[in-house]
Amino acid sequence: MYHYSDFDTDFLNSRNAQFRAQVERRIDGSLTEDEFKPLRLMNGLYLQLHAYMLRVAIPYGTLNSRQMERLADIADKWDKGYGHFTTRQNIQYNWPELRDVPDMLDALAEVDMHAIQTSGNTIRNVTADHFAGAAADEVADPRPIAELIRQWSTDHPEFQFLPRKFKVAVSGAAADRAVIKAHDIGLRIVKRDDEIGYEVIIGGGLGRTPMIGKVLYDFVSAEDLLPTLEAIVSVYNLLGRRDNKYKARIKITVHENGIEDIRARVDARYALIRPQFTGVDQQMLSRIEADFAAPKFLKGNLSPFQTAYEQDPVFRSWADTNLSTHRNPDYAIVSISLKAHGKTPGDASSRQMRLMAALAKRYGHDELRISHEQNVILPHVHKGDLPSIFYALNAEGLGTANIGLISDIIACPGMDYCALATARSIPIAQEIATRFDELKLEHEVGPLKIKISGCINACGHHHVGHIGILGLDRAGIENYQITLGGDGTEDAHIGERAGPGFSAEEIIPAVERIVMAYLELRAEPTETFLTTFRRLGLAPFKAALYPEAHANAA
């Protein structure tokens, strides 16, 4: 993986020293909150409902064991012994004190990590497919270009005050595991006549006006990508609306001006700035690519895996649910669920973080990933080591076999932490998971993605959940709206609103009615929820959700 150059380290140290001085000036009263707020946000520090929150970037979701251990140390020393992994491959600490934050940032810098541009109207943490470099279906590893984009966008002088925040995601495979069509810019690595290039998608986003991204260019060659991105953000910087926060994202700019108009503007801007890109970026990219060379895969004994698989049904269930196909047939990609039934989605204790770091070091070529679905991945594991890994994980509450199932729920922090939230999301996720665990139905139900947001900003991706839940404040009472049929993959689709919302007490039985209806309606056990929904549409699910309205109409 990428190791910081002296330039990176010097930059980060001087930036942290600047922020330390800014914090001191806030505490001694030389800076007002109005002056300090933009400075703290630039460094990932929010003030939330009960405390400050520090959001740390995990670029393209990649960590080594040393970094994961450091995240655990920070949780113990300056927080409450845990961290929360988010849908944008960040980790959030919910309880830091203002005075400690500069020390936390210095501790991060020692392991090549930072919280820069995890807030504010800037280019945010660049995210990528969490199976990058390991997936069998990959055209190329998306992380080198993601790292180049991180370097280009960090402290980019032209893009520190964009009309609104700006999110970039990269996928190296046709199967989209990075929700690229719901990003301001989504990049997909493609191959054309043996040449590697990029499909460039812009104007996707969730929030109050959800939109699926549109293809701006179907193929941009590698050396033209950075100037193309610069041209896009530059056009948006001028054209994006600054009069209305709710219309400021590039999705609205694209929607209001049309993709052809935007393309013409980007083409013109590109022609103007292209000569400034003299190829230095490509030299840097090739150095970065060397850092991301695949590990030396081992040839080992596969029999421990086969034996455990045949003899231990608990291991078998986990292996069937939490493993994905690696490009090396002797290897597997391990998804570690941070969704134990009844626990907070995406939370890991410092103990759990240290265990995952240790397993990565011992068995996983020292690599870990954070997925946008709030789980942790060991991308390169020899199959012979899988039983040892599973038993170690299981002993620390990390052995839940539910990846892609109904209890593998995305949930934003909601009103338990977030100052913007209009309702809670975490308890709803906890109760749904607990309920379906009691019913012992989730493996029978099969692939089903529930995504919960505690406000219209949609950090919980509810629009692209097979079942989406949006928590709102209706006259001072928490109310939950259901959308159905959303999809965050390459077939991205915004879910349809099912009807009137439900109270916190009603929402769990409502979800249960949808799932029971699906079990009745599916053509065969292998037909997934999403396929059944697409075949039948909203009507039969609506009938199950609102039996009284249905009875009255009949």
Partner 1 sequence: MPKPFTPKVITANALLEGDVVYLTATGWTRDLAEADVLTDEADADLRMIEASAQVDKVVGVYLADVTLDGTTPTPTHFREDFRATGPSNYAHGKQETAKQEQI
Q: State which residue, 98 or 392, has the beta carbon closest to partner 1.
A: 98
Contacting residues toward partner 1, per CB under 8 A: 26-27, 29, 32-33, 47-52, 80, 94-95, 97-99, 344, 415-417, 424, 426-427, 430, 473, 476-478
Burial class for 464, CB neighbours closer than 10 Å (0-12, 13-18, 19+)? buried
Interaxial angle between packed helices 65-78 and 350-363, expressed in degrees from 0 to 180 and rounded to the nearest 10: 170
In 3D space, the residue among 229, 252, 231 whose CA is nearest the CA of residue 240 turns out to be 252
Strands 168-171 and 185-192: parallel
Minimum Å distance from CB 95 to partner 1?
7
Which helix (H) or strand (E) element contains residue 353?
helix 350-363
The DSSP string of 509-542 is: HHHHHHHHHHHHH-SSTTS-HHHHHHHH-SHHHH
CB 214 within 8 A of CB 259: yes
Minimum Å distance from CB 381 to partner 1?
31
Minimum Å distance from CB 94 to partner 1?
8
Q: State which residue, 97 or 110, has the beta carbon closest to partner 1.
A: 97
Q: What is the DSSP letter of 294?
A: P
Minimum Å distance from CB 40 to partner 1?
10
Dihedral class, residue 461 (left if φ above 0, else alpha if ψ from -120 to 50, else beta):
left
Q: State which residue, 93 or 363, has the beta carbon closest to partner 1.
A: 93
In 3D space, the residue among 450, 446, 552 whose CA is nearest the CA of residue 510 turns out to be 450
Strands 168-171 and 127-128: parallel
Q: State which residue, 24 or 491, has the beta carbon closest to partner 1.
A: 24
Q: State which residue, 304 or 427, has the beta carbon closest to partner 1.
A: 427
Minimum Å distance from CB 32 to partner 1?
6
Nearest-angstrom CA–CA distance, 502 and 104: 41
Q: State which residue, 97 or 491, has the beta carbon closest to partner 1.
A: 97
Q: State which residue, 357 or 415, has the beta carbon closest to partner 1.
A: 415
CB 336 within 8 A of CB 319: no
Alpha helix stretches (DSSP H) within 396-503? 426-439, 442-445
Minimum Å distance from CB 39 to partner 1?
14
Q: State which residue, 147 or 478, has the beta carbon closest to partner 1.
A: 478
For residue 221, what are its two tokens? 């060659």
Q: State which residue, 430 or 483, has the beta carbon closest to partner 1.
A: 430
Minimum Å distance from CB 478 to partner 1?
6
Contacts of 39 (CB under 8 A, 6+ apart): 19, 22, 31
- β-pair partners for 221: 197
- β-pair partners for 482: 469
Minimum Å distance from CB 85 to partner 1?
15
Minimum Å distance from CB 42 to partner 1?
17
Q: State which residue, 82 or 529, has the beta carbon closest to partner 1.
A: 82
Q: What is the DSSP letter of 138?
A: B
Nearest-angstrom CA–CA distance, 422 and 443: 32
Minimum Å distance from CB 87 to partner 1?
17
Minimum Å distance from CB 450 to partner 1?
17
Find the angle CA(355)-CA(367)-CA(490) to the nearest 5 degrees: 115
Which helix (H) or strand (E) element contains residue 149?
helix 143-153
Backbone phi and psi for residue 453, each to the nearest 5 degrees, phi listed first: -115, 140
Q: State which residue, 280 or 477, has the beta carbon closest to partner 1.
A: 477
Find the angle CA(203)-CA(220)-CA(270) to the nearest 5 degrees: 75
Q: State which residue, 97 or 320, has the beta carbon closest to partner 1.
A: 97
Please name the residue that has the structure tokens 């995305």: 410
Minimum Å distance from CB 147 to partner 1?
33
Backbone phi and psi for residue 214, each to the nearest 5 degrees, phi listed first: -115, 150
Q: State which residue, 420 or 439, has the beta carbon closest to partner 1.
A: 420
For residue 335, what are its two tokens? 């998804």
Minimum Å distance from CB 512 to partner 1?
21
